[in-house]
């Protein structure tokens, strides 16, 4: 009997050892030794690679994990999954490369510099290019690119998470949050709902999910339409007559299938707005900026640190460099098309998109999850008015009335705390809040993680 027990114990530890060595080998295979053009002595580890989400179709999603610096206690920091929207846009291009990631790309498209307000100083960041067909994520079934939609995107993202935690089991019991912006206003609540529902009834949930954070988020078609048209009109971007036409012609029930009259009115509104950057209405669009920057830099030293609207162009150069793709373990299937910040095919042929996320908000608020919504107030694409109408429709009791929050004795924006939801605006920020107001976005993220009100 003693020999039998000893044998069982031996084989148990042998099995555990094999499993441990297996996932450690997988992690090591995904480790990024160094990115081309990366600053030296960065003090944190990075991993990237693929996780298969559907073997039959050959769908695999690309991720990039940026750990917190060891000096900031990476081993105890939470894990945050970041998703960009579109639909069809890359979390590597936007979230990682120009918003919350540790590096920004220089105009040469070859070298990187440190982002002092990178969110990995506060949490371990997991960027996911989703769905398949976006960025480096791929499918061996071509029709997948033409049939992507909300439901499959959420299911694939959940499968990704479960499989990723098997590769990185040290994160299984960490506090876990999901964050994103724009059309991720759909992705984030939908994935949150799946995680929450599948965790129920499990004694030790696979995902230690605590809540979500969304910015300038597509939330509810009806309220988004009303709020967007109102924003254009109240900010002097369109005429009174066009505003009235939009209110009548556009079916406020669905943004997926606008009528021909609505499209005509939207084209008229776009013409009236002129050559502005609708994602940041008070900053110059990319095509006007480079010459301005050269002329003013000598007189205004801060210009070199100002918002650069051409960052997407730098991404398209950098992430197409063969040496960058090798360092990231990306494009392993050698696809025939270049890496792009957004996939037009995925976006144009988007299959399903529910009219509203508000029922999911109601369910997850009732579940007691932490939910924060933020909005840059110079975005004309998913403006602050749209978000306020959507939140108002939830009819939540107010805990703390509207108040100004501060950064260095200056107003950073405004906030209101509801029962189950916190809303924060960031003044002077466009659609990508961490790009336009990196310091204020950092303060916002820190407050979210600490579950504390914005500093007043």
Output the six-digit token pair for 234.
């109240």
Q: Is 21 exposed, middle or buried (0-12, 13-18, 19+ CB in 10 A)?
A: exposed
Beta strand 176-181 pairing with 79-83: parallel
Query: Is 182 a catalytic site residue?
Result: yes
Query: Is 431 a catalytic site residue?
Result: yes
Instruction: Give the Cα separation of 350 and 184 in Å (integer).
Output: 14
**In angstroms, what CA-CA distances link 227 with 25, 224, 268, 381?**
50, 5, 18, 10
Q: Which residue among the candidates 379, 390, 415, 447 is catalytic per the annotation?
A: 379
Q: Which of 259, 254, 327 is nearest to 47 (CA)?
A: 327
**Per-residue b or e along 338-371, where b marks 16 or more CB atoms closer than 10 Å to that residue's CB:** ebbbbbeebbebbeebbebbbebbeebbebebbb
Question: Which distant-in-sequence residues (6+ apart) come within 8 Å of 196 by Cβ?
Answer: 209, 363, 364, 367, 369
Longest C-alpha distance within the chain, in Å?
90
Instruction: Give the Cα separation of 270 and 288 in Å (integer).
Output: 18
Query: Is 220 a catalytic site residue?
Result: no
Question: Which residues are 411's β-sheet partners?
Answer: 406
Q: Which residue among the candidates 68, 91, 130, 182 is catalytic per the annotation?
A: 182
Q: Which residue among the candidates 186, 223, 431, 436 is catalytic per the annotation?
A: 431
Q: How far is CA 68 from the centre of its chain?
A: 18
Instruction: Give the Cα separation of 211 and 175 in Å (integer).
Output: 9
Catalytic residues: 182, 379, 431
């Amino acid at each position: 009997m003693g020999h039998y027990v000893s044998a069982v114990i031996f084989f148990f530890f042998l099995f555990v050892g094999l499993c441990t060595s297996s996932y450690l080998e997988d992690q090591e295979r995904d480790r990024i030794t160094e990115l081309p053009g990366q600053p030296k002595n960065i003090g944190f580890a990075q991993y990237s690679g693929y996780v298969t989400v559907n073997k039959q179709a050959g769908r695999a999603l690309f991720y990039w994990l940026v750990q917190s610096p060891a000096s900031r206690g990476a081993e105890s920091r939470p894990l945050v999954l970041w998703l960009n929207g579109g639909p069809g846009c890359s979390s590597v291009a936007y979230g990682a490369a120009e918003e919350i990631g540790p590096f920004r790309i220089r105009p040469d498209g070859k070298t990187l510099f440190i982002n002092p307000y990178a969110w990995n100083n506060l949490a371990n960041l997991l960027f996911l290019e989703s769905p398949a067909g976006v960025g480096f994520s791929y499918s061996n079934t071509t029709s997948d690119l033409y049939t992507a939609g909300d439901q499959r995107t959420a299911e694939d993202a959940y499968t990704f998470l479960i499989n990723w935690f098997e590769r990185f089991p040290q994160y299984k019991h960490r506090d876990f949050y999901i964050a994103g912006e724009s059309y991720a206003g759909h992705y984030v609540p939908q994935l949150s709902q799946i995680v929450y529902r599948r965790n129920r009834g499990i004694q030790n949930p696979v995902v230690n999910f605590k809540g979500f954070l969304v910015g300038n988020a597509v939330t509810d078609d009806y309220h988004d339409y009303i709020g967007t048209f109102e924003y254009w009109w109240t900010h002097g971007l369109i005429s009174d007559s066009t505003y009235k036409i939009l209110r009548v012609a556009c079916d406020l029930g669905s943004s997926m299938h606008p009528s021909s009259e609505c499209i005509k009115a939207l084209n008229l509104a776009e013409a009236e707005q002129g050559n502005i950057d609708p994602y940041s209405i008070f900053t110059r669009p990319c095509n006007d900026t480079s010459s301005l920057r050269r002329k003013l830099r000598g007189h205004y030293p801060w210009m070199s640190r100002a918002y650069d609207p051409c960052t997407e162009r730098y991404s398209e150069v950098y992430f197409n460099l063969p040496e960058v793709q090798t360092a990231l373990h990306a494009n392993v299937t050698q696809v025939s098309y270049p890496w792009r910040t957004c996939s037009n095919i995925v976006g144009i042929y988007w299959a399903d998109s529910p009219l509203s996320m508000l029922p999911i908000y109601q369910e997850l608020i009732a579940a007691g999850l932490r939910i924060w919504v933020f909005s840059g107030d110079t975005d004309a694409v998913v403006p602050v008015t749209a978000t306020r109408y959507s939140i108002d429709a939830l009819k939540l009791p107010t805990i703390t009335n509207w108040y100004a929050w501060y950064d260095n004795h200056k107003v950073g924006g405004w906030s209101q705390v509801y029962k189950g939801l916190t809303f924060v605006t960031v003044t002077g920020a466009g659609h990508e809040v961490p790009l336009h107001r990196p310091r204020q976005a950092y303060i916002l993220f820190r407050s979210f993680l600490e579950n504390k009100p914005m500093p007043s």
